[in-house]
């Protein structure tokens, strides 16, 4: 029983024998020429290469935040490290500011008050001048009546003279002055020439006759005197 090979050993030996047979090179005559396989034409049956899908465009990088320059940097507060002011000094400065403001306000009010007073006075004078100017023709007519009255009308002349004197006093109380430029040099500021008349005794430009007397108030002419001038 021990001289008979075991089945497993027998199988191993058969395998080794087969491998030796395969390793022995065959004779040249016995080699079978293998039919060369026809080479495939390049690209004949080759499947067309699919174009690669368009590559997705690369997203642009987000804009980088600009670097802060010295100009954009927040300026340093020069008073940050400064020592705090003395409260007494601060109060004194505020007091001076308020005092200057009060003085300016008072000066503005005084100017306004004076201007308002001047305007009120001027308005009153204009109103007064408008009223008294209406009396000038009345006075002129009374003076003409007195100049043309005869001796037989003495009782009427006295009454007219009284009315005339009262009107002149009324004008004077309101600051209106009557002036008679007879014999003076002609001045267009105060005189209005109605006509000229030659006169051998007077030089040219002298007031010969006064047709209507002039009136002025506070240096302003309310009505120029209407005169006849030598020519």
Per-residue pLDDT of the chain (231 residues; tens, 9 = 90+): 444 555 566 777 777 877 777 765 555 444 444 444 544 444 444 454 554 544 454 555 545 555 555 555 555 655 556 678 888 888 999 999 999 999 999 999 999 999 999 999 888 877 777 788 889 999 999 999 888 887 777 888 888 999 999 999 989 988 889 999 999 999 999 999 999 999 888 888 899 999 999 999 888 899 999 999 998
How many whole angstroms from its chain centre is CA 138?
57
Give the full edge-to-edge strand order of the sheet including 176-179. 176-179, 214-217, 220-223
pTM of the model: 0.49
Tell me the three-class secondary structure of 36-62, residue by residue: CCCCCCCCCCCCCCCCCCCCCCCCCCC
Name the residue ranges covered by the structural domains of the chain. 91-133, 134-174, 175-231
Q: Phi and psi for 221 in degrees, rounded to 5?
A: -80, 120
What is the structure's pLDDT at 123? 84
Q: Which residue has the tokens 């506070």?
A: 218
CATH match for 175-231 among 2.30.22.10, 2.20.25.240, 3.40.50.720, 3.40.50.2000: 2.30.22.10
């Amino acid at each position: 029983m021990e001289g008979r090979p075991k089945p497993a050993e027998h199988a191993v030996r058969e395998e080794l024998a087969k491998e030796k047979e395969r390793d022995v090179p065959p004779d040249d005559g016995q080699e079978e020429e293998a039919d060369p396989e026809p080479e495939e034409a390049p690209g004949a049956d080759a499947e067309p290469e699919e174009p690669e899908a368009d590559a997705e465009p690369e997203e642009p990088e987000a804009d980088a935040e600009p670097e802060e320059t010295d100009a954009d940097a927040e300026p340093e507060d020069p008073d940050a490290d400064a020592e705090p002011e003395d409260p007494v000094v601060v109060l004194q400065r505020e007091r001076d500011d308020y005092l200057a403001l009060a003085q300016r306000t008072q000066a503005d009010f005084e100017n306004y008050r004076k201007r308002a007073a001047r305007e009120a006075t001027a308005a009153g004078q204009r109103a007064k001048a408008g009223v008294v100017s209406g009396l000038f023709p009345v006075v002129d007519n009374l003076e003409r009546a007195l100049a043309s009255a005869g001796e037989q009308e003495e009782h009427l002349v006295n009454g007219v003279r009284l009315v005339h004197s009262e009107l002149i006093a009324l004008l004077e109380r309101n600051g209106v002055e009557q002036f008679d430029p007879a014999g003076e040099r002609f001045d267009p500021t105060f005189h209005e020439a109605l006509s000229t008349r030659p006169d051998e005794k007077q030089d040219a430009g002298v007031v010969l006759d006064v047709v209507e007397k002039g009136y002025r108030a506070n240096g302003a002419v309310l009505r120029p005197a209407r005169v006849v001038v030598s020519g």
